[in-house]
Structure 1
């Protein structure tokens, strides 16, 4: 049954009831989709809750070579953004020389990244949780900077829970 009146002129009871269906459905959908997102968060936390920073440094020399992300000749993500907050796995040398620009095991903060840009460094090997040699958990050097506090992550931090809670978003409301 179509609604032939409007709110300005006034609706009868049946027309008003029909018009509220969309609003009620929207609220119900939002509640249900939020529950799905909450369920995903809970499952991710269950899986990742045991991942904790258990030591300061595992001593590994392994890592991941980071370079800028380039697509179609355009720099999509500069090296600076990829290495900021990470720890170097090996000495970073000044291009064309044997001079050490950034020593191994250095937490790369903004000033170090400025130095890398000034010297046109195009690749840096950084520590990674994937290559961490810690037996149970992860070491602080392989994890890198605590994004909430701005310094290297503290021993005992539950990084699995942090990661699990960072992944799901309530984007269903916007779809």
Structure 2
């Protein structure tokens, strides 16, 4: 069932046939283990050793109500927070509209592979990052042959050519360096991901970006509900609360 993707994940089946494990305790605060880049949740001292197939003892059942309640309260509280986050992002970004064709900015952004620092796995490859964007500087291969000029749109074909030439970083036009007043220009923004064409003047790209960040936020809050309150060492980037911390620029120890 897991392998086919029909229902559930490994955590659900471990609880059904293995053991429920440690339960999350919502009354105690979390500890930040900055050295290992994670957050350690406080737990109920005694683990639940039974599985759902065997059935839980009275004490284990009581113990697991801690975690179950945490799942419900998290979902109820964070759904409201998530809607508020979307609203704040929209309020900030609503006046960012595509105003002109090209602002002529010289400032670019260096794009390279996004790599997980711990596992060294590539999260987002360079090719995926540059397709649909414009080049900020001419790109040459190792033999000094010109691959593409400045202000050229990266197609799939061109991006593949750049990767095959062994280039690991590319300077692209970015809205972070756009000179357009009260908005952005077409060349700095690049392709509209919805239509797969270069963005039109008048497109409200700020609101689209804000809603694109807010929408998965709602789904992240639902995810806490599905584990049934089982404690685990969460990654420091864990879920929705971390997203809010980043946007609000919290004073965190990590």
Task: With the length of structure 2 as denominator, give the TM-score of the two structures.
Answer: 0.54
Aligned to 2:177: 131
Aligned to 2:187: 141
Residue 38 in structure 1 maps to residue 83 in structure 2: yes
Deviations 1:31-64 (A, max 9, x none): 5543322121111111110001100101122201
Aligned to 2:209: 163
Q: Secondary structure at the match of 2:105?
A: coil
Deviations 1:70-102 (A, max 9, x none): 4469451322122122110111112231x2101
1:136, CA displacement in angstroms?
Answer: 2.0
| Alpha-carbon distance in structure 1 between the residues aligned to 2:83 and 2:146 | 48
| Alpha-carbon distance in structure 2 between the residues aligned to 1:30 and 1:160 | 28
2:128 to 63, 74, 81: 81
Q: Secondary structure at the match of 1:149?
A: coil
| Alpha-carbon distance in structure 2 between the residues aligned to 1:162 and 1:109 | 23
Residue 174 in structure 1 maps to residue 220 in structure 2: no
RMSD: 2.4
Cα contact 2:74–2:221 (8 A) shared by 1: no
Deviations 1:122-164 (A, max 9, x none): 2211001111111221001111111111111111111110111
* 1:99-110 mapped onto 2 (5 Å cutoff): 99-110=145-156
Q: Secondary structure at the match of 1:167?
A: helix
Residue 53 in structure 1 maps to residue 102 in structure 2: no
Question: What are the ranges of 5 or more consecutive residues in structure 2 without an aligned counterpart?
Answer: 1-67, 225-254
Going from structure 1 to structure 2, the CA distance change for 1:125 and 1:148 (only over 3 Å counts) comes to same
| Alpha-carbon distance in structure 1 between the residues aligned to 2:108 and 2:138 | 12
Going from structure 1 to structure 2, the CA distance change for 1:69 and 1:41 (only over 3 Å counts) comes to closer
Higher relative contact order (CA 8 A, sep 6+): 1
| Alpha-carbon distance in structure 2 between the residues aligned to 1:92 and 1:140 | 21
Task: With the length of structure 1 as denominator, give the TM-score of the two structures.
Answer: 0.76
Q: How many residues align?
A: 151
Going from structure 1 to structure 2, the CA distance change for 1:108 and 1:174 (only over 3 Å counts) comes to same
